[in-house]
Amino acid sequence: MNKRGRSRSTPPWPVAIPAIIALAFLVLPVLGLLIRAPWGRLIELLTSRTSLDALRLSLVTALSATVISIAIGLPLAWLLARAEFPGRRFARALVTVPLVLPPVVGGIALLLAFGRRGMVGQYLDSCCGITLPFSTPGVVVAETFVAMPFLIITVEGALRGLDTRLEDAAATLGASKSAVFRRVTLPLIGPSLIAGGVLTFARALGEFGATITFAGNLPGVTQTLPLAVYMGLEGDPDQAIALSLVLLLVSIAVLVGLRDRWLRTGVAS
């Protein structure tokens, strides 16, 4: 199409100036965090009881949310990409709702559905004594709600972009449907599955609005890293900054890990 598009030249200033402003705007806050960081007290701050509780809780819940997202999100991604059923397009649209929904709205929605007096929650409470709000599983529910769409969309895109002739070939050679999925499809979408999983994990780790609304805030039980950062800002700002650095580190790790993967194979559709 545009063959000259790749040639690099000195950008004209009407482009360069706003571009530099945009870059500075995105970089400066991160720089501010790094400059203001209490490097001397970092170890002490990160090994405090509140920090360790929040770190542990965040890791456990974000990993759980990722595992659940793969367990139920992968089948849904496969259905959306491969199966023909009425309302498929509608279902695809529904999956993206949590992506664009403000997380705090998601939290309220979760309360109204899974809260103690919620649509589903009241039966969970009366039949099995399960109450999700204010519990660690509640945090996992909130994180899964917000993060699972990343996995579904990434994997679904990969499945749709897949060359189906490879699967057809395996099938004609006598492989069963499940064997085709395990030995052909899964390895082919493997990188996307990993990318989707990492994105899901990162999103779950950073979840704030839905968590604080649905699961509340209690150190050691539902106070994840972002909540500890928010609460810390009022009591001990240095601690908030130290914990922010941890989250920043994770974000950078995700970017480095997926540097050329998720944009290419991700939202291919």
In the complex, minimum distance from the CB of residue 59 to another protein, in angstroms, rounded to a whole number: 21
Query: Would you give the distance in Å from CA 139 to the centre of its chain?
Result: 14
Which residues, including other chains, have CB under 8 Å from residue 214's CB and lie 6 or more apart? 106, 107, 110, 111, 114, 115, 132, 133, 138, 141, 142
* Residue whose token pair is 């309302």: 87
Of 58 and 265, nearer to another protein (C-beta) is: 58
Provide the CB-side half-sphere exposure for 2 (13 A, CA): 3
Return residues touching another protein (CB under 8 A): 111, 115-117, 133-134, 212, 216-219, 221-222, 230-231, 233-235, 237
Q: Which is nearer to another protein, 116 or 160 (CB)?
A: 116
Closer to another protein by Cβ: residue 153 or 231: 231
Decide: 217 and 133 in contact? Cβ < 8 Å.
no
Taking the complex as a whole, the smallest distance from the CB of residue 97 to another protein amounts, in Å, to 22
d(CA 179, CA 202) in angstroms, rounded, equals: 31
Nearest approach, Cβ of residue 42 and another protein (Å): 21
115 versus 266: smaller Cβ distance to another protein: 115
Least Cβ distance, residue 242 to another protein (angstroms): 17
Q: Which lies closer to another protein via its Cβ, residue 4 or residue 117?
A: 117
Q: CB 219 → another protein: shortest distance, Å?
A: 8
Distance CA 84, CA 161 (A): 17
3-state SS, residue 267: coil
